[in-house]
Structure 1
Amino acid sequence: MTPSEYQQLVEFLGPRFTQIDQRFTQIDQRFIQIDQRFTQIDRALGVLSDDLADLRREMLGHFDEIYRRLERLEQEYQAITQALRRIEAGLADERRRREIIERDLAELKRYVAALQARIEEIEQRLAD
């Protein structure tokens, strides 16, 4: 290649390489912008991740409180159920006792009626 051909080649390719360099510079700027956006997104995701972790801890705390309250309600339910069984057993005993007392009272009334009849009979015999 002669020096003049080389010079023509440089003159021809020089502007083309300049255009390519400008294009690479533009692409570099776009990559810088994209990198900055990724950095911002990473920060936002980090904050979001922290917020979600805080929310999760808070929700788990609420669930723990709900489970604690449910456990307490379960214990109270068991205590009430046992007390109700004792009351029902006591009422059943009272019913049996009342039935016995009512039978005894009816029997006493019959005895009193029989005694009253005998007293009246004795009084009539004495009056005759």
Structure 2
Amino acid sequence: MSRSARANLQGCRILVVEDEYFLADEVAQALQGDGAEVLGPVARVAEAVSLTRDEERIDGALLDVNLAGEMVWPAVDALLARGVPITLATGYDNKAIPQAYAHLPRVEKPLEMRALLRALRHEMNPG
């Protein structure tokens, strides 16, 4: 089956960047249940940038915008430089997202797992 025809994230390697332990665990379980391999979860920007640099293959990423008071933008930049599809997880409104990242898809916190999976599937299988 072609990648664009998949209805789930089977075989996709998804980086999860989230500093709330229980939420990160819930996201990881939902992704694994949908067939994805989870990279992380990681809770710090430096860890996310390091994984982005060190991992050979990252098919997609879900990033919390604010990690313990540190904004995730350096990790977003590293992923964008690699052409990795990114979905942001945030409770912030549109005005709080810098213009350079306004085009990125977002899922609103509190996260609803079905909506999250739908958003990631869309980013991983556009068209």
Fold equivalence (TM over 0.5): no
TM-score by length of 2: 0.13
Higher relative contact order (CA 8 A, sep 6+): 2
Q: Which has the higher strand share?
A: 2
